[in-house]
Structure 1
Amino acid sequence: MDWLQVVILAVVQGLTEFLPISSSAHLILVPVLTPWDDQGLAFDVALHLGSLTAVVLYFRQAIWQMVTSALAAVRGEQVDDDARLGLWVILATIPVCVIGFLTRDLIADHMRSTLIIGMSLIGFGLLLGYVDWRKSGERSEYQLRLKDVLIIGGAQALALIPGTSRSGITITAALMVGMSREGAARFSFLLSIPVIVLAGGLEVVSIIREPEEIQWIAMLAGTLLSGMSAYLCIHYFLVVIKKLGMQPFVIYRVLLGAWLLWFFHG
């Protein structure tokens, strides 16, 4: 890997992991649109480690509160909002884990095409735009109900389709059940933590089974760049949606999807 490839892949991963524009679509497209060889699973793990570190650092106080409150609840103390939020994160992660395990080979072999990516970018992008335009609610992540969590968790499983965007579909579902834009985004970011951990774990297992040459310097640089860009992305995304909503990202998705369909299938 050359350094330009390292930088571009790391920044793309860091920015698109949390924006509602599909990180998988962009990482699939980079080798399609460039002469570079596939970066390999080990480098993918490094990029996801950077994104994971960023979201954990950004929400470290909320995570600490969830963990301490959950431990207190286990000891028999009252279940408070923080402990309940931690439970909601776990419950909303179950559907994507189960469906992802059952359909992993199907998705990897048959769904990573520019046709599916383009259609998903447009279709789910328009859905996000409609839900956001219709008017978001006022509830925060601490005011979720079990029914809301099941809907958001079920929607997250759709992110297994390349081009859907995990953050995009979870934010869409959260807005549909009456959450505010900021609350929807924060809950989506918290949901990313177990998903990234589990996805990275599967990739590590694959690497152990089929060892590949590891470029340690490139991986370290990719982790740092991915983490830095992801941290900045989370911060400024929460600022932007307060003023502009989701529409700029919807426009980007539709334009990118339309270009993919025209360029590869027109």
Structure 2
Amino acid sequence: MGGGEAILLGLVQGLTEFLPVSSSAHIRIISELIGGRDAGAAFTAVIQLGTESAVLLYFRRDIVRIVSAWWRALRGDRGTDWRSRAGMPEGARADHDALMAWFIVIGSLPIVILGVLFQHSIENVLRNLWITVLTLVGFALLLGWADRVGRKERPLDTLTPRHAVQFGFWQALALIPGVSRSGGTITGGLLMGYTREAAARYSFLLAIPAVFGSGLYELVTNLDGFGHAGVPGLGLTLVATIVAFVVGYLVIIVFLKIVSTYSYRPFVLYRIGLAAVVVLLLVTGALDPSVPVTP
């Protein structure tokens, strides 16, 4: 892989990470088309650090406010009992920012647990492109149905612990390429009655611990593997990550402006169209559905 290919993959990552179209599926497909093989789960996880850094920048004020409120609650500023430390002091108004911090923590548990338990399958079997085709189509139909039947009434400040965990399981489905992290959580949010904007904003915040944890883990554990066995080197990975950061930041701005106004129908049609293209490439031999199995 050369510099041009790295820039292209960074561009693709930035364009698709926050849209419900599955960035991992796009990276899996395009890396093989331009390089002759899958760039790998480690490369995909690391360049996602770029797009999540864009989330940190865009939501920096929200994040500072949430972390500050969480720390004040943990410190016991509003009481030393467990309810006060959780942001729900007895007889007083709940601190929604402190609660949001806890909701992000508990919502992150499903993807962490399932990611560890099924790491080998995620990095090998589940990257088969026939599985990607099925998830692209299946979750396109599910997203379209959720957008049509969801009440879209609940704002984000009505989030509950039970719903936070449910959001987390929807996010965990994105461990399978083709599902989409934002697509999964937004679909789940719509089915639980949240507005499009509320589901999208929580999706972005919920992804921060999971993506940074996964990216840093893959970076540390596969440090010697970059530049070998078809995996791009660290320099090219850094280039792709920077491009993903810049493009991803711009996509966040645009996506949050349109998400409360327009339906997800264009994304549904796009996912189905992409699946059809992948099927065509698979049956003609332009793409290899399988990936080299890693130990």
TM-score (norm 1): 0.92
Equivalent-residue separation in structure 1 for 2:35 and 2:222 (angstroms): 24
Equivalent-residue separation in structure 1 for 2:62 and 2:32 (angstroms): 39
2:91 is equivalent to residue 73 of structure 1: no
Q: Deviations over 1:58-87 (max 9, x none)?
A: 000110011000010011134210010111
**Residues 49/160 of structure 1: CA separation in 2 closer, same or farther (3 Å cut):** closer
Alignment coverage as a number of residue pairs: 266
Equivalent-residue separation in structure 2 for 1:127 and 1:43 (angstroms): 29
Q: 1:54 is aligned with what amino acid?
A: A
CA contact 2:70–2:98 (8 Å) conserved in 1: yes
2:75 is equivalent to residue 57 of structure 1: no
Q: Deviations over 1:165-204 (max 9, x none)?
A: 1110110001111110001000000111111111112212
Equivalent-residue separation in structure 2 for 1:261 and 1:40 (angstroms): 20
Q: Which residue of 1 aligns with 2:48?
A: 48
**Residues 210/8 of structure 1: CA separation in 2 closer, same or farther (3 Å cut):** closer
CA contact 1:174–1:184 (8 Å) conserved in 2: yes
2:263 is equivalent to residue 248 of structure 1: no
Q: Highest Rg: 1 or 2?
A: 2
Corresponding residue to 1:158 among 173, 176, 182: 173
**Residues 38/172 of structure 1: CA separation in 2 closer, same or farther (3 Å cut):** closer
Equivalent-residue separation in structure 2 for 1:46 and 1:21 (angstroms): 19
Q: 2:157 is aligned with what amino acid?
A: Y
More displaced, 87-96 or 221-230?
221-230
Q: 1:143-182 to 2 correspondence within 5 Å?
A: 143-182=158-197
1:206 deviates by 2.2
Q: Deviations over 1:9-32 (max 9, x none)?
A: 001111111111001101100122
CA contact 1:115–1:265 (8 Å) conserved in 2: no
Equivalent-residue separation in structure 1 for 2:165 and 2:41 (angstroms): 31
2:23 is equivalent to residue 20 of structure 1: no
**Residues 110/154 of structure 1: CA separation in 2 closer, same or farther (3 Å cut):** same
Q: Which residue of 2 aligns with 1:226?
A: 244
CA contact 1:159–1:166 (8 Å) conserved in 2: yes
Q: How many percent of aligned residue pairs carry the same amino acid?
A: 38
Q: 1:122-133 to 2 correspondence within 5 Å?
A: 122-133=137-148
Structure richer in helix, relative to its length: 1
Q: 1:179 is aligned with what amino acid?
A: Y
CA contact 1:17–1:23 (8 Å) conserved in 2: yes
**Residues 171/211 of structure 1: CA separation in 2 closer, same or farther (3 Å cut):** closer
Q: 2:28 is aligned with what amino acid?
A: I
1:208 deviates by 3.7
Equivalent-residue separation in structure 2 for 1:209 and 1:43 (angstroms): 12
1:150 deviates by 1.7
What is the RMSD computed on CA atoms of the aligned residues?
2.1
